[in-house]
């Protein structure tokens, strides 16, 4: 049979799909190239018969070598990812089996090994591209399983029959068997798809803590572009990473406000304590008021209110941020546009709001997390800030809604050289603020002066080499690196020290600045390279105000340039986001929403159908009862019903005959090309 002769080619294609899926899951395309090369050689020498068979001892030696590689990975290299090591082992076994002279038993083993390999890949990745590969693999695997079963039964029957019967078997039933295979394939595919959809909706993933935790390709460690600690004075080059951290959509009054020209700041943590010993900026801990822990449960629609607005503040439009965080760091920081007033998420059970306004996720059910957060411009001038700005390096912070709560924050003294430089840069503004410490204008102008000075007198650089390692790194940056430059943490640290030397409360904020705007989905793709540090200073009678002393060029050069294929890239990124948000992150709350929407749709559809049928019956009844219709109304109605019934019976009989006749079965058994050729030849007689 034609489709039985294509079985080896289809089996090789199935193996190739499993190899591609595994290589994509572990991002090892070198392994894919070697595996494809060896598979091609096995096809050329073994299946085409272009070379002698490989001796058995060579294959056994190759299997032993693959086993030694597995032992080396697990015992000597101490590979913590068991699934990855097993995937390498299964790949080696498949390649060894391909070089054998294969019987049905060998083909069966190859199919099982390819299934194990694709299952290993599914554990290692949640990518939408891999999902498409998996669907293609399952479809081809289902078809190949049916053909393999038919191949085994056919060979068994041929072995038991005479040569004449064998010839009749190969020619007489070929057409009908081909149609039966396709019918079974499509029927099984539909049933399995419906069953999978029901399982997906009725049994959402709940996230079992610790299950397969050590088997994942990527761990759940801290983000490489973000940390609650900023260490200065390190040598080397800061490498940028294109790894995607989050996808964020911005809405105001339900309208998308994101665009390429608008690059917002997404804050993750506030650093207000500096250690002279470790040269680190870090977040203050302890004290009063204590962090607020808020539960996110189904009773309140998984929503928690962080700040209660007054009637006047509610009139200002809120900005809604829809965030898909691809990997929650070890510190569980959530990234928001400050100040956040409300948060909603079904991916975590609780959130914690720190006194500085940062938001931290509670227990997460998985590495990824989806949440919505609302920010209000009305609270922007009254962010959390110090009550006694003159107390530096020790100062106090308070919550605007709990002014009695105080936290004492101890930070290292400002280096004398930095303080002297702040006086020199500030000039008359420094003296003016000293005379009038509560002057809003003087404080703001001095902060703007510091910001402009750093932006215009220092270069931005990703390479750091200390000039004088014996002094503080920020002091070294300000005194010796106007041309060498530094990255954003040095600019932020310098401005914080300048402001504190002038008696202005200041702190460093770390998070992400903007991202690549996806024009198809209308959201920002925030990558690790967009990690940024900026400054908040407390302006009297205004509140915390954002300043960014890093040179403006540094904030735009990291953006991915737009090219002719950017739209295509945006589309696939949008598909990936939909896959992660609606498939991978599907949970009980989403199931409840889908079932509720489906019930409403069925209910409304049924009601609309009933109304439509009632309207038709009413119209017919009105026409029948109308005296102007005469005696012809009954005759016309009867004729219409008779013709409709006759046409229905004829269509059903024709359809049944075309499906059950021997000629129809033989025609359907032909391939599509032969059917088209036969149709062209028979059209001559029309």
- pLDDT 10s digits, 162-197: 544 544 444 445 555 666 666 777 777 787 777 777
Quick one: 253 and 398 in the same domain? yes
What burial class does residue 298 get, using C-beta atoms within 10 Å of its C-beta: 0-12 exposed, 13-18 middle, 19+ buried?
A: exposed
* pLDDT band of 629, cuts 50, 70, 90: low
Give the residue from 286, 285, 342 showing the smallest Cα distance to 314.
342
Give the predicted TM-score (pTM) of the model.
0.61
- Report in angstroms the alpha-carbon separations of 630 from 246, 625, 635, 637: 73, 10, 10, 12
Greater confidence (493 vs 404) lies with 493
The Cα angle at residue 402 between residues 397 and 405, in degrees rounded to 5: 50
User: What was the pLDDT predicted at 187?
Assistant: 75
Q: In the numeric block, which tokens belong to residue 546?
A: 């954002």
Encode pLDDT of 324-350 as tens digits.
888 776 678 888 887 788 888 877 778
Residue 550 lies in a domain: yes
Domain that holds residue 617: 589-685
Q: Looking at the domain assignment, is residue 416 inside a domain?
A: yes
334 forms bridges with which residues in the sheet? 359
pLDDT at 396 (0 to 100) = 33
Q: Is residue 72 part of a domain?
A: yes
Average pLDDT over residues 23-42: 89
Residues 182, 288 share a domain: no
Does one domain contain both 197 and 255? no
pLDDT value at residue 293? 76
Of residues 477, 476, 487, the one with CA closest to residue 553: 487
Alpha carbons within 13 angstroms on the beta-carbon side of residue 273 total 17
354 contact partners, CB below 8 Å, separation of at least 6: 270, 283, 291, 360
Give the pLDDT confidence of 266-304 residue by residue, as tens digits: 988 888 888 888 888 888 765 445 667 777 765 566 788
Report yes or no on 218 lying in a domain.
no
Pair (254, 372) in one structural domain? yes
Question: Nearest Cα to 323, choosing from 594, 588, 523, 128?
Answer: 523
| Shared-domain flag, residues 534 and 471 | yes
Q: Do 486 and 460 meet the contact criterion of CB atoms below 8 Å apart?
A: yes
Residue 577 falls inside a structural domain? no
Share of the chain above pLDDT 70, in %: 73
**How close are the terminal C-alpha atoms of the chain, in Å?**
32
Show the tokens assigned to 646: 């006759």
Residue 565 lies in a domain: no
Statement to judge: residues 404 and 548 lie in one domain: yes
pLDDT of 1 reads: 56
Do 259 and 321 share a domain, yes or no? yes
Question: Within a domain: residue 208?
Answer: no
State how far the Cα of 189 lies from the Cα of 149, in Å rounded to an integer: 17
Q: Which two tokens stand for residue 115?
A: 């299934």
State whether 254 and 328 are in the same domain: yes
Task: Point out the domain boundary residue: 186, 202, 218.
Answer: 202
Judge if 186 and 325 occupy the same domain. Answer: no
Q: Is 283 within 8 Å of 356 (Cβ atoms)?
A: yes
Shared-domain flag, residues 625 and 518: no
Q: In terms of domains, do 278 and 151 share one?
A: no
What would the mean pLDDT of 144-171 be, rounded to a whole number? 68
Among 516, 538, 557, the domain-final residue is 557
**Position 367 in a domain:** yes
Spatial separation of the C-alpha atoms in residues 323 and 248, rounded to whole Å: 5
Domain total in the chain: 3
Give me the chain's average pLDDT, please: 77
Residue 516: strand pairing partners: 525
Strand runs labelled E in 212-276: 229-231, 236-237, 244-252, 255-256, 265-271, 273-275
Structural domain ending residue among the three candidates 557, 574, 599: 557
Q: Are 548 and 669 members of one domain?
A: no
Q: Quick: pLDDT tens for 659-669.
A: 777 666 666 66
């Amino acid at each position: 049979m034609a489709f039985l002769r294509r079985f080896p080619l289809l089996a090789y294609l199935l193996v190739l799909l499993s190899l591609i899926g595994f290589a994509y899951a572990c991002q090892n395309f070198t392994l894919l190239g070697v595996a494809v090369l060896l598979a091609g050689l096995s096809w050329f020498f073994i299946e085409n018969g272009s070379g002698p068979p490989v001796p058995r001892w060579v294959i056994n030696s190759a299997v032993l070598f693959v086993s030694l590689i597995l032992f080396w990975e697990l015992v000597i290299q101490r590979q913590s990812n068991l699934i990855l090591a097993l995937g390498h082992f299964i790949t080696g076994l498949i390649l060894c089996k391909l070089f054998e002279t294969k019987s049905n038993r060998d083909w069966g083993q190859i199919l099982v090994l390819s299934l194990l390999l694709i299952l290993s890949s599914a554990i290692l990745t949640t990518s939408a591209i891999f999902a498409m590969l998996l669907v293609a693999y399952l479809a081809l695997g289902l078809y190949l399983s049916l053909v393999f079963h038919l191949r085994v039964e056919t060979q068994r029957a041929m072995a038991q029959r005479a040569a004449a019967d064998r010839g009749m078997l190969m020619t007489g039933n070929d057409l009908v068997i081909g149609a039966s295979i396709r019918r079974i394939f499509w029927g099984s595919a539909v049933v399995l798809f419906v069953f999978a959809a029901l399982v997906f909706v009725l049994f959402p993933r709940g996230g079992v803590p610790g299950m397969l935790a050590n088997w994942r390709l990527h761990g759940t460690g801290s983000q490489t572009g973000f940390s609650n600690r900023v260490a200065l004075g390190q040598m080397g080059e800061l490498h940028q990473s294109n790894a995607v951290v989050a996808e964020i959509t911005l809405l105001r009054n339900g309208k998308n406000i994101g665009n390429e020209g608008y690059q917002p700041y997404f804050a993750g943590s506030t650093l207000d304590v500096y250690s002279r010993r470790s040269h680190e900026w870090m977040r203050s801990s302890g004290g009063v008021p204590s962090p607020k822990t808020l539960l996110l449960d189904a009773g309140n629609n998984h929503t928690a209110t962080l700040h209660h607005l007054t009637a006047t503040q509610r009139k200002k439009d809120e900005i809604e941020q829809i965030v898909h965080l691809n990997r929650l760091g070890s510190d569980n920081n959530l990234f928001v546009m400050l100040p956040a007033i409300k948060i909603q998420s079904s991916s975590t059970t609780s959130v914690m709001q720190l006194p500085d306004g940062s938001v931290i996720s509670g227990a997460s059910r998985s590495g990824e997390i989806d949440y919505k957060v609302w920010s209000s411009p009305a609270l922007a001038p009254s962010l959390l800030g110090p009550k006694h700005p003159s107390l530096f390096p020790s100062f106090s912070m308070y919550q605007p809604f709990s002014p009695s709560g105080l936290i004492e924050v101890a930070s290292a003294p400002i280096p004398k050289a930095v303080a002297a430089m702040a006086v020199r840069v500030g000039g008359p503004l420094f003296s003016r603020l000293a005379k009038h410490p509560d002057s809003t204008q003087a404080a703001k102008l001095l902060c703007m002066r510091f910001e402009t000075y750093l932006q215009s007198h220092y270069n931005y650089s990703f390479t750091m080499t200390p000039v004088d390692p014996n002094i503080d790194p920020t002091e070294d940056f300000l005194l010796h690196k106007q041309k060498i430059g530094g990255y954003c943490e040095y600019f932020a640290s310098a401005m914080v020290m300048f402001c504190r030397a002038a008696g202005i409360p200041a702190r460093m904020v770390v998070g992400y600045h903007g991202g690549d705007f996806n024009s198809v989905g209308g959201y920002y793709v925030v990558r690790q390279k967009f990690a940024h540090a900026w400054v908040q200073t407390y302006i009297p009678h205004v509140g915390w105000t954002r300043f960014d002393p890093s040179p403006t060029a540094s904030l735009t050069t990291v953006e991915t340039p737009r090219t002719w294929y950017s739209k295509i890239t945006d589309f696939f990124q949008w598909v990936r986001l939909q896959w992660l948000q609606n498939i991978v992150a599907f949970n009980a709350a989403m199931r409840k929403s889908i079932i509720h929407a489906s019930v409403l749709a069925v209910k409304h559809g049924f009601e609309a159908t009933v109304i439509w049928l009632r309207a038709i019956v009413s119209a017919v009844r009105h026409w029948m009862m109308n005296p102007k219709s005469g005696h012809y109304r009954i005759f016309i109605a009867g004729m219409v019903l008779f013709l409709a019934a006759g046409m229905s019976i004829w269509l059903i009989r024709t359809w049944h005959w075309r499906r059950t006749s021997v000629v129809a079965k033989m025609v359907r058994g032909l391939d599509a090309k032969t059917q088209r050729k036969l149709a062209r030849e028979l059209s001559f007689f029309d």
